[in-house]
Structure 1
Amino acid sequence: MQHLLKTSLLIFLFHFNFTVFSQPLLKQKNEQIKAELKNNLNDTTRILKLQTLSLYYVKKPGEEKADLDSSYVFAREADFLSRKVNYNKGKWMSLILYSQLFREGNNLPKGIRELKKAFVIAYKNNIVWLKGEAYLELTNYYDFNKTECLIRLKIIEKAYKAFKKGGSKKQIADILLYYGDHYFYLGNFKAALQKYNEAKDLYETIGNKDQMQNLFSHMSKAYSKIGLYTEAVKYSLQSIKIGEQNKDIFFLTSDYTNLALSYYKMQNYELALNYHKKAFDYSLERYSQEVSPFSNASYIIKDLINLGREKEAKEFFSTTVKNLKVNNYKDQIALQICYIAFFDNIKRYSISNKACNKLIELKKTHRNNLPDVINLGINNNIVAHLFKIKNYELAAEYLNNNIKLGKSIKDIDMIITGHMMKFKLDSATGNYISAISHLRKYEKAKDSIFNDVKFYQISNLQIKYETEKKDKNIHVLTNQSELQKVKINNDKIIKIVAGVILILLLIITILIFRSYKNKKESNEKLQAGKVDI
């Protein structure tokens, strides 16, 4: 059952720690723009920089009033200057910014009013890039439950089509990344990877590196979910390399967590422990509502237990975890999981049972704020503990809900874990026919993910082969074209040389003819002189 608790912890925290969607402007870039605004800039450049700063503060992780106030100040200044110099693009983008500001400030009616203005202008004047920006902002007025997430996808498709018609390559790449994130959230990891790879190709084509850390981070998560752990590690390391240069703690915490989770899935607990500690240390540097250390703390405990270092796990739990400040209900949930992980392992079930009951209460209280993927992880932790204390009836109730939920969002990890838990639960309660059925389903699900991984790898190889073949054909055609050019040039040279030789021959012939004529005339004169004599 230890393996089941380990897996459920992994799944819960993997989702709970998931940083959704586009990466905001880096802090050092923000400071650079502020410094540039002190210089004499032309009006349009100043407007664009002011709007970039406004976006930085409105997209900054967390919901601090001071950030929204700063965003509003920069947006208003940009709007005022745009109207003063009659810069239409600046005026129209101000509407999108105001929509974001009012929405983030929970004034949805005002936000929608500003967004409608942008739509009216975009459609009246057929401004496709503005349509794209307006649709992109519209997605944020919908939630992340499955029904509304599907609505968001339809709106994203409209934004994508608009940017394809009149947006920049960066806007297209950004919307592809955003597209992929929604597919990931819905559990369609292959579709997510397809969008991520398209975005990656575009970013590399235009040489834009602003979103690469965010992109690699999300690619790592998607590869991990389909079982391609080596690819997950590869992209985590690439993301971390960029992150270490930028020193953005928020994203470094997420990246090191992703890397640790990939090693955890491969049961390389030594490396998992190393990177969970790094993520934990980074989270302490920016310990607030934005970054919580509790998720990585629970993994450090599990890594140490899996490595047989229970004494260190006990020391870490007693001296570090117990002294961490709890900021919100998410911290409370992760803290209860720490208690369950530690005390179940040392068989202090009275304490872990108390933590489990508190976890159930937290789940009920905050059910409206917990997406399906979070509920799955919480339920798995509850089931694992209930199994430990042999409360099979209640465990079966939570487990059946989880199996249904796992199927609804097509989460392979959840489906596999659910069937294995059900097999063990049915075996323990003597329901052997059902146990055998779930064991078969477990094996079938494992085979399915193995085949999917192989299919994905083969598909990628095929795409790579076709691309290389296409590139080779282009190379051959290019070479043939070059050879043709050389041949044409050579023909020209031959013609020129032939022409020059022909002219030279003509000149020589004329000279010979003249020489012959002169000699003949000279001989005739000489002959006439002889006759006279």
Structure 2
Amino acid sequence: MSQSHRILLHLCMFLLFPYSLYSMQITQSESDSLLRSLSQNKPDTNKVKILLSLGEYQLYKPGEFKEDLDSALNFAKQAQALSNKLDNYQLETQSLNLFGSIYLELKNFNLAIDYQQKAIDLSYKHGDTQAEATSSMLLANVFRQKGDLEDARKQGQKSIELSVNNGHFQQAADAYLEMGKSYANYGEELKEKIKYFQLAKQAYGQASITKSQADLGKDLGDLYYLQGSSAQALLELKKALSLYQSINHQPLQGVYDLLGTVSCDLSDYQEALKYGLLAVETAELVNDTSLQLCTIYNRVGLTYFYLNQFQKAHIYFEKSLRVAQNHDYQPSIMIVTYNIANILVKLGQPEVSAQLLLSTIKQYPPQNKNDSIETASRLLESYTRLKQYNLAQPYYKQLLNLSERLGKYESIQKIKHHNILRFLVESKQYELAQKYAVEFEEFCRVTNYLRGQVDVQFYRFKLDSMQANYPSAIRHYQQYKLLQDSLMNETKNRQVASLEVLYETEKKEQDLKLKEQNITTLTQEKQLQQEQIKKERLIRNGIIGGAILLLLLLGVIYNRYRLKQQSNKLLQAQQATLQEQQQQIQEKNQALKQLLVEKERLLKEIHHRVKNNLQIVMSLLNSQVASLQDKVALSAIQDSQNRVHAMALIHQKLYQAEGVARIPMKTYIEELVAYLRDSYDLSQKVSFKLSIGHIELDVNMAVPLGLIINEAITNAFKYAFPAERSGEVHISLLQKTDTSYELKVEDDGVGLPKGYDPSKSRSLGMTLIHGFSDQLGAELNIKSGPGMKIRLIFIEEKIDYIKNKVGYVN
């Protein structure tokens, strides 16, 4: 799947709630009730708290209206004046914090900083470290939003130290979170952000605030995904989901959506689809109409796309587009439109795809170079598919002009490379296509773009085939298949590596839990030992005290017995837990073994695909026959088809065999002879005598050997029996020693012309026979008269050095 298809609408899901300074956020009805009671309250601390609650409500109520903020300022002024009159520094500090938050909302950073600094000074004056930590954290938030990151981090660190030193876990968690927000979502800063978010999550856990702990787990999953640590992201998101479910938290569509996204990144599309559909179901259940729903629908559509279920993908992309249009949010509208246009092409509707793109850019003209390149590229693809090259040409030129304004190796260049090369090939602009293919190949090499390397080799194969440059076409096709296999292996290895990371992480956590349990057990045993010592002293004192204390001694012994029983039960329960954990580890190991079995199955599938692709090459050669009149060219194509069939037959045998390493040569040669006899359909009678031992050869030996036999039989059919002359061809393949084999191909035909030296011949057939003999490291002997005799002796050990070579011919 090309990189241009992997467009992900990744909207970070961080829940940036404003700080609640005093109490839980009140509702509209509660606000009205407090407002009515305000005039009835006497001027005391309770009235200050009501004023602060009303000010906070006006500050954080939905919508951004100036009258709400003016009302909040009025309540803050009254609260500060009354708290100052009452000489209550704590409420006055909260009033100053409220002023700072209001001016921050008004983007008046200087006043916000002044009020937060006053709150810090007042707290410090009275030695209230908890209030000072809260005000420092709020000041850090002001600096961060102003863009003064250095000052923000200084205040954040101060708040952390004050909170940690005084054991205020919730406050420490808020401070860690604020500190983390001061770092960017990329590079080394992303590592720092993750570190502080982890500390915040741990502190929320110590404070037993499950909801905030789950929120941080979800945010960490998003951050690890941005970092490229998909396995760690999956683990954090599953923990967050478990925490949400433990408190019966209903709006889970965000965490389900992220779980689906990460699973999709790991190529686990079935798991991605499961979580994506759960996100859809949850969002619709809670009547979520936010822009997040656009992201959820889009990601489900992408998952169906990767599963090649294009109709279902189209349905979810359309749903996503409707949500984006309802919010009139152009970035999302453009991204989803590109996805729909791509799906329409896949569904064989390029004309509809072009119409959609044209109508969209008419209403939403591209706002940046990325949108311009994406739009032109999609239109170029649609018109190329429609074979309307005159309409495609302007977009081809537009893409070239746009790309000149970009860096040569920018990622966005990927989008245009594929469609430009397809257009040049399909419109038969071969010279430009060859030049552009070289440019694309360099881009892929520099950017390590493996998917592009696969595609460019396929296009070069098509170009060479169309221009009858068959040796080059075969080389590019072989390179295409090799890179395609590498891409498949890379995906599989990435999945295995991610599973291993996940497994190791879970194993470390289990080991840590076991260690904690062991420490707990040792502590309990130590306590039991200490209790036992005390009891022995009591027994000794009871004996000294006499018979009156005997009953007390018996009671103590009985109590000791009960404690020991409880301890035994606890130890048995721990052993059961250990056994269960060992079982889980064994199940993980079994899953890895299953992956190895899957790899073996994939190898057989690769041979099947190679056989199919070689048949495609034969079909391409057949298509060339229809346009040729020259008998020499027709004969050359037929020879090429026979060679391709000889290779395809090898891979068919590998696919059909129980193993994937050795070729049974007897059945292979019999089928090859039968195919060539049918292919040439000679009018005269030419019989075959086969003497083939029960020999199995490695694929790297079988391919060149099969091609030598193909060339020998082809030469016999074409030259050995002229003028309706009948004859016989004898083929033998026998094992001489443990490691050496002898191949003989003999006919009783007219033999070679006088003075003809096979070793100096430049004919393709003789060149291939000599070339494949050298590849096998074999001893070749060709004699003539009567008939022609080809004798080849080769040793199995001598071909080890070619196992990692690309292709079959040197």
TM-score by length of 1: 0.66
How far 1:25 moved relative to its partner?
A: 6.3
**Corresponding position of 2:400:** 357
**Aligned partner of 1:385 among 395, 410, 419:** 419
* Structure 2 residue 241 is the aligned partner of structure 1 residue 241: no
Question: In structure 1, how many angstroms separate the alpha carbons of the residues matched to 2:212 and 2:54?
Answer: 15
**Aligned partner of 2:364 among 324, 331, 334:** 324
Q: Quick one: which amino acid aligns to residue 19 of structure 1? A: L
User: Please, which moves more after superposition, 218-227 or 449-458?
Assistant: 449-458
Q: Quick one: which amino acid aligns to residue 40 of structure 1? A: L
Structure having greater relative contact order (Cα 8 Å, sep ≥ 6): 1
Give the secondary structure class of the aligned counterpart of 1:164: helix
**Aligned partner of 2:156 among 105, 110, 115:** 115
User: Please, which moves more after superposition, 432-441 or 148-157?
Assistant: 432-441
**Corresponding position of 1:22:** 14
How far 1:201 moved relative to its partner?
A: 0.4
**Corresponding position of 1:471:** none
Q: Quick one: which amino acid aligns to residue 400 of structure 2? A: N
Structure-to-structure mapping, 1:52-91, within 5 angstroms: 69=105
How far 1:81 moved relative to its partner?
A: 13
The alpha-carbon distance between structure 1 residues 114 and 133, as it changes in their structure 2 partners (threshold 3 A), is: same
Asked which structure has the greater CA Rg, the reply is 2
* Structure 2 residue 448 is the aligned partner of structure 1 residue 403: yes
Structure-to-structure mapping, 1:494-513, within 5 angstroms: none
Give the secondary structure class of the aligned counterpart of 2:332: coil
How far 1:325 moved relative to its partner?
A: 4.2
**Corresponding position of 1:50:** 56
* Structure 2 residue 5 is the aligned partner of structure 1 residue 10: yes
The alpha-carbon distance between structure 1 residues 262 and 300, as it changes in their structure 2 partners (threshold 3 A), is: same
Give the secondary structure class of the aligned counterpart of 1:21: coil
Q: Quick one: which amino acid aligns to residue 34 of structure 2? A: N
**Aligned partner of 1:134 among 175, 185, 191:** 175
Question: In structure 1, how many angstroms separate the alpha carbons of the residues matched to 2:169 and 2:194?
Answer: 19
* Structure 2 residue 455 is the aligned partner of structure 1 residue 421: yes
The alpha-carbon distance between structure 1 residues 324 and 185, as it changes in their structure 2 partners (threshold 3 A), is: same
**Aligned partner of 2:256 among 196, 202, 216:** 216
* Structure 2 residue 226 is the aligned partner of structure 1 residue 185: yes
RMSD: 4.7
**Corresponding position of 1:499:** none
How far 1:100 moved relative to its partner?
A: 3.4
Cα deviations across residues 40-77 of structure 1 (Å, max 9, x unaligned)? Answer: 2973996599399659899xxxxxxx99736889x99x
How far 1:363 moved relative to its partner?
A: 4.7
Whether the 8 Å contact between 1:426 and 1:435 is mirrored in structure 2 is: no
Question: In structure 1, how many angstroms separate the alpha carbons of the residues matched to 2:139 and 2:372?
Answer: 35
Cα deviations across residues 318-354 of structure 1 (Å, max 9, x unaligned)? Answer: 3233322445566445444544443444444433324
Cα deviations across residues 145-181 of structure 1 (Å, max 9, x unaligned)? Answer: 3333233333333333333333512222122112111
Whether the 8 Å contact between 1:260 and 1:276 is mirrored in structure 2 is: yes
Question: In structure 2, how many angstroms separate the alpha carbons of the residues matched to 1:190 and 1:340?
Answer: 38
Whether the 8 Å contact between 1:249 and 1:285 is mirrored in structure 2 is: no
User: Please, which moves more after superposition, 84-93 or 165-174?
Assistant: 84-93
Whether the 8 Å contact between 2:211 and 2:243 is mirrored in structure 1 is: yes
How far 1:187 moved relative to its partner?
A: 2.0
User: Please, which moves more after superposition, 121-130 or 251-260?
Assistant: 121-130
The alpha-carbon distance between structure 1 residues 399 and 199, as it changes in their structure 2 partners (threshold 3 A), is: same
Aligned sequence identity (%): 16
Structure-to-structure mapping, 1:249-288, within 5 angstroms: 249-288=290-329
Question: In structure 2, how many angstroms separate the alpha carbons of the residues matched to 1:112 and 1:457?
Answer: 33
Give the secondary structure class of the aligned counterpart of 2:448: helix
How far 1:277 moved relative to its partner?
A: 1.2
Question: In structure 2, how many angstroms separate the alpha carbons of the residues matched to 1:384 and 1:50?
Answer: 55
**Corresponding position of 1:487:** none
Whether the 8 Å contact between 1:237 and 1:259 is mirrored in structure 2 is: yes
Question: In structure 1, how many angstroms separate the alpha carbons of the residues matched to 2:237 and 2:363?
Answer: 40
Whether the 8 Å contact between 1:23 and 1:214 is mirrored in structure 2 is: no
Q: Quick one: which amino acid aligns to residue 269 of structure 1? A: F
**Corresponding position of 1:489:** none
TM-score by length of 2: 0.45
**Corresponding position of 1:40:** 34
Cα deviations across residues 279-315 of structure 1 (Å, max 9, x unaligned)? Answer: 11111122246x5300111111121221122332233
**Corresponding position of 1:372:** none
Unaligned runs of 5+ in 2: 19-23, 36-45, 65-101, 425-432, 465-471, 508-565, 570-810
Whether the 8 Å contact between 1:226 and 1:453 is mirrored in structure 2 is: yes
How far 1:251 moved relative to its partner?
A: 0.3
Give the secondary structure class of the aligned counterpart of 2:34: coil
Q: Quick one: which amino acid aligns to residue 100 of structure 1? A: N
Structure ranking higher in helix proportion:
1
How far 1:238 moved relative to its partner?
A: 2.3
Q: Quick one: which amino acid aligns to residue 289 of structure 2? A: D
How far 1:119 moved relative to its partner?
A: 2.8
Question: In structure 2, how many angstroms separate the alpha carbons of the residues matched to 1:142 and 1:386?
Answer: 40
User: Please, which moves more after superposition, 191-200 or 138-147?
Assistant: 138-147
Whether the 8 Å contact between 1:33 and 1:49 is mirrored in structure 2 is: no
Give the secondary structure class of the aligned counterpart of 1:303: helix
Whether the 8 Å contact between 1:277 and 1:300 is mirrored in structure 2 is: yes
**Aligned partner of 1:205 among 246, 252, 256:** 246
User: Please, which moves more after superposition, 431-440 or 378-387?
Assistant: 431-440
User: Please, which moves more after superposition, 36-45 or 293-302?
Assistant: 36-45
The alpha-carbon distance between structure 1 residues 153 and 422, as it changes in their structure 2 partners (threshold 3 A), is: farther
Whether the 8 Å contact between 2:317 and 2:339 is mirrored in structure 1 is: yes
Whether the 8 Å contact between 1:261 and 1:272 is mirrored in structure 2 is: yes
How far 1:395 moved relative to its partner?
A: 0.8
Q: Quick one: which amino acid aligns to residue 359 of structure 2? A: T
Cα deviations across residues 388-428 of structure 1 (Å, max 9, x unaligned)? Answer: 23211221232123326xxxxxxxxxx5x345335436646
Cα deviations across residues 482-507 of structure 1 (Å, max 9, x unaligned)? Answer: xx9xxxxxxxxxxxxxxxxxxxxxxx
Cα deviations across residues 118-169 of structure 1 (Å, max 9, x unaligned)? Answer: 2342244343333332222223333333333233333333333333333512
**Corresponding position of 1:443:** 488
The alpha-carbon distance between structure 1 residues 101 and 246, as it changes in their structure 2 partners (threshold 3 A), is: farther
**Corresponding position of 1:153:** 194
**Corresponding position of 1:231:** 271
Structure ranking higher in strand proportion:
2
**Corresponding position of 2:335:** 295
The alpha-carbon distance between structure 1 residues 354 and 273, as it changes in their structure 2 partners (threshold 3 A), is: same
Give the secondary structure class of the aligned counterpart of 1:134: helix
Whether the 8 Å contact between 2:224 and 2:233 is mirrored in structure 1 is: yes
Question: In structure 2, how many angstroms separate the alpha carbons of the residues matched to 1:223 and 1:116?
Answer: 36
Whether the 8 Å contact between 2:231 and 2:499 is mirrored in structure 1 is: no
Question: In structure 2, how many angstroms separate the alpha carbons of the residues matched to 1:216 and 1:125?
Answer: 37
User: Please, which moves more after superposition, 125-134 or 218-227?
Assistant: 125-134
How far 1:193 moved relative to its partner?
A: 0.8
Structure-to-structure mapping, 1:367-382, within 5 angstroms: 376=411, 378-382=412-416
Whether the 8 Å contact between 1:22 and 1:214 is mirrored in structure 2 is: no
Question: In structure 2, how many angstroms separate the alpha carbons of the residues matched to 1:149 and 1:457?
Answer: 21
Give the secondary structure class of the aligned counterpart of 1:222: helix
